[in-house]
Amino acid sequence: MARATPRLFVAGDLAEGGAVLLSAEQAHYLRNVLRLGLGNGVTLFNGRDGEWKARLDHIGRNAATAIAETRLREQAAGPDVRLCFAPVKKVAVDAIAEKATELGVARLMPVLTAHTDVSRVNVDRLRAHAVEAAEQCERLDVPSVDQPVTLDRLLAGWPADRPLILCAESGDARPVAEVAAALAGRPVGLLIGPEGGFAQAELDGLAKLPFVHPVGLGPRILRADTAAVAALACWQCLAGDWRVRPPGREA
């Protein structure tokens, strides 16, 4: 059985015949894990120049270089969806970054709420999970990962013309499918609370904002990481890009 060509996210520009420097971690992975050498093929993307077929031109202990040969796909914009989420414990927050990337999120925005138990967020680790997920799921970019902000600061800077879909456990809320269908085609944000839910004062304040759309996720109380995946899946199915097939699988 043929081995799949490794797919890597790189920082450098990609153009025909151009050399691209790979990181020490990527060099280690290619040389010591996959046992690749000079001339072996890799696939590269950087979020700007599309996806490229390349070959290894140098591979050492701490660095590697690949030569871009053929563009496989032009760069294309994904859904303009932001995920605002209260940080949870390490394994769950890592899963949020990974699954949200697979589900097409453009921006990951950790938000500190009244009931948020986690006080520190390792943004570099979340980005690493997002990069790995983007490489695996064949998207052409990697979502940005913001530094955590308080809920008040998030709302103060939120664009008034971008709907913010609040996943609320209580209070008046429309079904998520109904709201997603009504907002199809628009840039949006999704707001997920902490394990303990939003404080009542936070919900009261959110309800007064004209760009906030409270939605319900069914009759069961979901964990924060489950709620993030469920809300994103509903959005993508009804208003996102789930009508598009993966590359090379149109038939």
- Enter the pTM of the model: 0.90
Dist CA 124 CA 104 (whole Å): 19
Q: Based on the domain organization, do 207 and 145 belong to the same domain?
A: yes
Q: Based on the domain organization, do 57 and 94 belong to the same domain?
A: no
CATH number of the domain where residue 34 is located: 2.40.240.20
Mean pLDDT, the chain, as a whole number? 91
Domain boundary among 73, 106, 123: 73
CATH number of the domain where residue 95 is located: 3.40.1280.10
Q: Based on the domain organization, do 54 and 165 belong to the same domain?
A: no
Q: How many domains does the chain have?
A: 2
Q: Based on the domain organization, do 88 and 114 belong to the same domain?
A: yes
Contacts of 199 (CB under 8 A, 6+ apart): 113, 114, 115
The answer as to whether 213 is a domain residue is yes
The answer as to whether 250 is a domain residue is no
The answer as to whether 2 is a domain residue is no
Instruction: Give pLDDT, residue 1.
Output: 39
Dist CA 204 CA 220 (whole Å): 22
The answer as to whether 118 is a domain residue is yes
| Average of per-residue pLDDT across 174-184 | 91
Give 198-216 pLDDT, tens digit per residue. Answer: 999 999 999 999 999 999 9
248 confidence band (pLDDT: 50, 70, 90):
low
The range of the structural domain enclosing residue 45 comes to: 7-73
Q: Strands, E, within 10-143: which ranges? A: 19-22, 41-45, 51-59, 64-73, 81-85, 107-112
Q: Based on the domain organization, do 99 and 54 belong to the same domain?
A: no
| Average of per-residue pLDDT across 69-95 | 92
Q: Based on the domain organization, do 170 and 92 belong to the same domain?
A: yes
Give 85-137 pLDDT, tens digit per residue. Answer: 999 887 889 999 999 999 999 999 999 999 888 878 999 999 999 999 999 99
Q: Which residue has the tokens 């093929």?
A: 41
53 confidence band (pLDDT: 50, 70, 90):
very high
Please check the confidence at residue 245 and state whether its pLDDT lies above 80. no
Please check the confidence at residue 43 and state whether its pLDDT lies above 70. yes
Instruction: Give pLDDT, residue 241.
Output: 85
Q: Based on the domain organization, do 92 and 60 belong to the same domain?
A: no
Q: Based on the domain organization, do 39 and 124 belong to the same domain?
A: no
- Top pLDDT among 37 and 129 is at 129
Query: Residue 74's closest CA among 142, 143, 9, 140?
Result: 140
Angle of helix 224-239 relative to helix 90-102, nearest 10 degrees, comes to: 10
Domain boundary among 73, 104, 126: 73
